[in-house]
Amino acid sequence: KNEVEQSPQNLTAQEGEFITINCSYSVGISALHWLQQHPGGGIVSLFMLSSGKKKHGRLIATINIQEKHSSLHITASHPRDSAVYICAALNEKLTFGTGTRLTIIP
Amino acid sequence: KAGVTQTPRYLIKTRGQQVTLSCSPISGHRSVSWYQQTPGQGLQFLFEYFSETQRNKGNFPGRFSGRQFSNSRSEMNVSTLELGDSALYLCASSLGTSTYEQYFGPGTRLTVT
């Protein structure tokens, strides 16, 4: 069993839909990262959080430390949100989930 | 501020050769981490350097090594290349250790034939 599990692996939605990507981890962590990777490989750090909730534009990330679970939400999704979203648990080093490939159809 | 830069961006090597990849962090960042991304294994942590010292190392064989210079630039070296080393190698820099937000470079795509 991977230390960091993401679901779903693939997600296709219509433009405007509310998107939720889930991440569960089995190790103790000091923080959890959400990353976005576009085709071509470039990775952008979206959030780093250790408790509660963070919001940036249409993106919201939440974490429940007791349940070892985090979610990434995208409101009013847009085709430009199409990318792979990766969560990564930080405990001395980053351990990555396998990623969620999100496709938003116009 | 310029972002994290990695050179070269693409590289083709043959089995048994060695390769050196370079990473220049964002100005003022003292920590550089390296990651390997493959279709089969996903993203995996290689090592982290802070102020020229290796702070942490992932589960990779000794053929993978790295170093950091006094200007925070970092290099990683892979010796005796194997086909399985074909991957996207990413570096990320941060102000402090990996507990700080990390900024990723564009990666070096290494193909071993």
Please state which of the ranges B6-15, B54-63, B78-87, B92-101 shows the lowest mean pLDDT: B92-101
What rounded mean pLDDT belongs to chain B?
A: 94
Distance from CA of B17 to the nearest CA of A (A): 25
From the number of C-beta atoms within 10 Å of its C-beta (0-12, 13-18, 19+), residue B100 rates as middle
| Tens digits of residue pLDDT in A30-56 | 899 999 999 877 899 999 999 999 999
Distance from CA of B53 to the nearest CA of A (A): 15
In this prediction, residue B98 carries a pLDDT of 60
Interface residues on A facing B, Cβ-Cβ cutoff 8 A: 30-31, 33, 35, 41-45, 48, 86, 88, 90, 92-99
In this prediction, residue A45 carries a pLDDT of 92
- Residue A104 token pair: 């938003």
Averaged over B59-75, what is the pLDDT?
A: 96
Flag if B101 and A48 touch (Cβ within 8 Å). Answer: yes
In this prediction, residue A92 carries a pLDDT of 80
Name which of B42, B90, B98 is nearest A43 (Cβ-Cβ): B90
Q: Is the pLDDT of residue A1 over 70?
A: no
In this prediction, residue B101 carries a pLDDT of 84
Counting one residue from A and one from B, how many pairs have CB atoms under 8 Å apart?
49
Averaged over A7-25, what is the pLDDT?
A: 97
Q: Give A-chain residues touching B58 at CB under 8 angstroms.
A: 93
What rounded mean pLDDT belongs to chain A?
A: 94
CB contact set of B90 (below 8 Å; sequence gap of 6+): A41, A43, B6, B34, B35, B36, B37, B43, B104, B105, B107
Q: Is the pLDDT of residue A90 over 80?
A: yes
Angle made by CA atoms A42, A78, A7, in degrees to the nearest 5: 65
CB contact set of A40 (below 8 Å; sequence gap of 6+): none
Mutate to test the interface with B, among A2, A35, A38, A43 (most CBs of B within 10 A): A43
In this prediction, residue A2 carries a pLDDT of 74
Please state, as a whole number, how many other Cβ atoms lie within 10 Å of the Cβ of residue A16.
11
Flag if B99 and A90 touch (Cβ within 8 Å). Answer: yes
